[in-house]
Amino acid sequence: MNIILINPPAYRQVEEYDLATWQHLGIGRLSSYVQKFGHKVTLIDAKLQRLGMPLIRKIIEEKEPDLVGLTAMTPDIYNTYTIAREIKDINKRITTVIGGCHATIMPETTLREETCLDYLVIGEGERTFRELLDAITNDASIELLSQIKGIAFRADSEIIKTETRPWDVHIEELPIPDWQLHSYATHYKLETSRGCPFKCNYCMRVLGETVRYFPTAKVLNELKYIMKLKDNLLMEIVDETFTLNHKRTHEILNGMIELGVGKKIRWFCSTRVDSVNRELLKKMKKAGCYMVCFGVESGNPRVLEKSKKNIKLRDVLSAVKLTREVGIKSFLSFILGHPDEKLEEMIDTINFAARSNPHIASIGTMVPYPGTEIAEIVEKGAGNYRLLSKDWTEYNRQFSYVLELNDVSKRDMDKLQLIGMLKLYVHNYRFLDLIKFIFRYWRESLRFFKMIFSARTESGKNISFSRISVLQFVQILFFKC
């Protein structure tokens, strides 16, 4: 079968993700897997290739596919719908399939919202997609399609969702992703495990709660392949918690050191503050790691406990100190707008971010992504929340206009975001770093200042009132942490 797999363009260019310098890992993994079974695959990564709708349509017309597979994060879902309509306009006989986290969490809603989508793959896509391709190739009946676990499809006016497919316990059988678009990329993604065992209330855990590991030898083989693509690469290890299993992490790091990964690749990863120690961090540094990202989410103990993050603030300070001492940068992420959070507790987060003094701090506002506990709380009208929009394009953590608290407006949270980003550098006298940050993220900075001082959102919604005056803004920014 002649297949095209598409990662859509961003609906709006809001942050780095929207102008990616990396190839989408999911469509690359899916491509290499189905090619094993004789299918021909073309990849379109509109974010990486900087493609708009006209060029995407042109490629589809030239390639004349039998089937097009689509993916999307929540903010991009409408662009995926647009591509599906374009495909059917080109040729109604082209089969359309959608997957990805948004479709996985909301299968029936997704198929109802866009009738040009024929099939939907739920959860991990490789084996499900291959079985679906076999069924489509053989003109399978509704009865046979219904036996494929982990799909949804339209039968006349009815939407059928099949039995849930268990998480893949044999991920070691998956081949190295298809990096056919590597010439566009400067940044690569390496997956060494899938799943997350933790219960944070703001996360959807789209790859399940059971952690499954790729064998160390397979990870190192993929690294060898990546090292041959280009020199001076940037790589992200995309595991939810790379250092969760210390024994395995040491095995991978030993292999990376033996391969000389650090001489060709600068890499970073995400993990938890309670899952690192000095020995591990020193070895990560030797293996080429230049930055570790830690999710902290709140600088207030009560809010942190309620988020189910299950970490302590003292662990955050210790992790930042250790990474600094071994020569690795730390990146801390925080969220404002937890359930029932007060303005003073948000200020605690701003102050803690500055006091902990990581290399970079990302301060976002809460978004009720589908499939999260937060979304359920909002749906119930609890958490002291007020839902401002159900427009999926607004569902962005840095520049959203989706959610506020009855006691703290979205405008106030936006102001606190700005204070937090400035205070990290001002409080620690890191003025040169502040200038570098603004230059690196100039697009996001301009957008943020526009959002702070505008009376309306980009979609035309009126922005709510603000309790934080100019004087209070200055006091929070310069008052001792």
SS3 (DSSP) at 289? strand
Q: Quick one: 208 and 86 in the same domain?
A: no
In a domain, 166, yes or no: no
Q: Which residues, including other chains, have CB under 8 Å from residue 254's CB and lie 6 or more apart?
A: 283
For residue 38, what are the domain limits? 2-161
Least Cα distance to 291 among 259, 326, 256, 248 occurs for 326
350 with 209, same domain? yes
Three-class SS string for 29-96? Answer: HHHHHHHCCCCEEEEEEHHHHCCCHHHHHHHHHHHCCCEEEEECCHHHHHHHHHHHHHHHHHCCCCEE
Taking phi over 0 as left and psi of -120 to 50 as alpha, with beta for the rest, 337 belongs to left
Residues 257 and 289 in one domain: yes
Looking at the fold, whether 146 and 270 belong to one and the same domain comes out as: no
Instruction: Report which of 253, 316, 309 is spatially closest to residue 284, judged by C-alpha positions.
Output: 253
Indicate whether 87 and 222 sit together in one domain. Answer: no
Same domain flag for 143 and 210: no
- Overall residue count recorded for the chain in this entry: 481
> Same structural domain for residues 217 and 351?
yes
Residue 400 in domain: yes
Q: Are residues 128 and 213 in the same domain?
A: no
Q: Are 182 and 150 part of one and the same domain?
A: no
Whether this model's pTM surpasses 0.75: yes
94 backbone dihedrals φ, ψ, rounded to 5°: -70, 125
CB 166 within 8 A of CB 195: no
Percent of the chain scored above 70 by pLDDT?
94
Choose one of 140, 161, 182: the last residue of a domain. Answer: 161
User: Are 145 and 98 spatial neighbours (Cβ–Cβ below 8 Å)?
Assistant: no
**What local confidence, expressed as pLDDT, does residue 13 receive?**
67
Identify the domain boundary among 95, 127, 161.
161
How far apart are the C-alpha atoms of 341 and 339, rounded to whole Å? 5
The three-state secondary structure class of 357 is: coil
When divided into structural domains, the chain yields a total of 2
Same domain, 221 and 156: no
Give the chain's residues under pLDDT 50.
none
For residue 459, the domain's CATH number is 3.80.30.20
Q: Which of 134, 161, 188 is the last residue of a domain?
A: 161
Q: What is the CATH number of the domain that holds 90?
A: 3.40.50.280
* Residue 342 shares a structural domain with residue 440: yes
Identify whether residues 153 and 201 lie together within a single domain. Answer: no
Cα 28 to Cα 3, 33, 150, 287, 394: the distances in Å are: 13, 9, 20, 25, 27
CA nearest to 59, candidates 48, 43, 72: 43
Which CA distances in Å does 213 have to 249, 277, 474? Answer: 11, 21, 48
β-partners of residue 152 are 120, 161
Determine contact, residues 288/261, Cβ cutoff 8 Å.
yes
Backbone angles phi, psi at 166, to 5 degrees: -60, 155
